[in-house]
Structure 1
Amino acid sequence: MQDSARPSFYQQLRELQPFQQQIWATALAQRAAPNYLLFAEVTGSEHGPAFKQLLALAWEGVISPQSRINWPVQQEKLPALLPDPEATHLYGVYPALDAATGLELVLDEAVMPQTETAVDASKLSRATVRHYLEQLCPEGMTLEEAKQWIRHHPLMEDEQDFQDELLHQIQQLERPFSPLVREIKNLAMNQGVSNLGISLD
């Protein structure tokens, strides 16, 4: 019998402590990173290294208690990294923009913790996958059939499984700078494969 008193998935995210929300957002930004880096590589953008540096600082901020990072200064670097969908016809600009937006959530949370950061990051990652699958949806489907096709597509099921496992691991963290954060980082890196199944390799 299902426990009706159990908080919903998003409510569990809202109940995470600020340091847990920060780790959650950083993990989802890490998983989306190949989407940004591949787009930068394909378009010859010079912003790939800066994106990777900001992401590395985000991990340093949740792994190392000795880190002293000026987050407002890091925030100022982000607008230049946001790709412009109107400047290219490539579909990859959209998941790249989502990845940069996810990193923006990380930096915003570091500056000023918010109860909705983890929820926003979760919804953003799901939306990236959903929008991508909408481009692949077989023609001739009704709207309801398309929704079901997307819901049960392996990429969407993998997204759900990843977020479920990530939440489980983060809920085990009882204090900041736990050694377990490195395991969460490894989970998020996913051997270099993004939430869209994209790998730089």
Structure 2
Amino acid sequence: MVNSDSLQEKLAPIELRISALNRWQKTLFCICLLQRSSPNFQLFAENTDPEHAEALSKLLNLFWESQLVPSSRINFAVQHERFELVIPNPDDYDFFGVYPALDCCVLAELCFSCIGDFQGDEASNALQTSLASVLSFLELQNPEFDEHDAQHLNAPLLVDELEFANSLLLMLANHDKGSKQAAELRTLAYNQGVSNIGICLEDD
């Protein structure tokens, strides 16, 4: 969880807007955060087990299909069992990349929860998970980074994270349920292939 009062002040209105979302909107919010963070997992997988990267890509496509094609019939219980096999154990690795990859897996678990046993707090937890990835990466880049220091709240990655959440919420508020709206959200979440911590695996 984030403990900075200054950062909490920035998060408070975002959290309030998230709480007002319906289930469909919260599900899309989680899928969008997963989409945006997916390069973090894919980079990790490419350096450990490339087949796992493909597994996440396939799962993302199925999450989007469930929103883009109302008539789709996907057994997410089976997909969940398969995905659990690719979740990394951080104790097995000695480099930082496992942590944003694991955060990406947490986002996937929240997507499963939204589609299956919906609890209601998935979208809020997804925001906190994605934000934690950003803060951890900033601390890695700069050991002096202090989330309690208002000056450090201007870090570009952190600003981008909050702006992305606000843009996503604005689109969700202005759209009704439908495949066209989900497609627009997918484009936003793809973010030109750049993750929430600035990773991009595509060639220019």
The answer as to whether partners of 1:35 and 1:99 remain within 8 angstroms in 2 is yes
Give percent identity, aligned residues only. 37
Which moves more between the two structures, 158-167 or 77-86? Answer: 77-86
User: Is residue 139 of structure 2 the alignment partner of residue 137 of structure 1?
Assistant: no
Q: Does 1:17 align with 2:4?
A: no
Give the structure 2 partner of residue 192 of structure 1: 193
Asked if the contact 2:42/2:53 (under 8 Å) is kept, the reply is: yes
| Mean Cα deviation higher: 42-51 or 97-106 | 42-51
1:116 matched to which residue of 2?
121
Q: CA RMSD in A?
A: 1.7
Structure 1 residue 149 displacement after superposition: 4.7
CA distance in 2, matches of 1:96, 1:179: 30
Structure 1, unaligned runs of 5 or more? 1-6
How many Å apart are 1:173 and its aligned residue? 2.1
Normalising by structure 1, what TM-score?
0.89
Query: Do the aligned residues in 1 keep the contact of 2:69 with 2:179 (CA within 8 Å)?
Result: no
What CA distance in whole angstroms lies between the structure 2 residues aligned with 1:138 and 1:24? 31
2:131 to 111, 126, 129: 126
The structure with the largest alpha-carbon Rg is 1
Deviation >4 Å, runs of 4+: none
1:172, 1:133 → 2: CA distance? 32
Q: What TM-score does the superposition give when structure 2 sets the normalisation length? A: 0.88
Distance 2:32 2:49 in 1: 26
Q: Give a deviation string over 1:82-133, Cα, whole Å, max 9, x none.
A: 1111111111000000011101110111002222111011111111101110
Match in the other structure for 1:161: 163
Aligned residue number for residue 183 of structure 1: 184
Q: Distance in 1 between matches of 2:97 and 2:151?
A: 22
Find the counterpart in structure 2 of residue 41 from structure 1.
Answer: 46
Q: Aligned pairs, how many?
A: 191
Structure 2 alignment gaps of length 5 or more: 1-11
**Residue 185 of structure 1: how far off its partner (Å):** 0.3
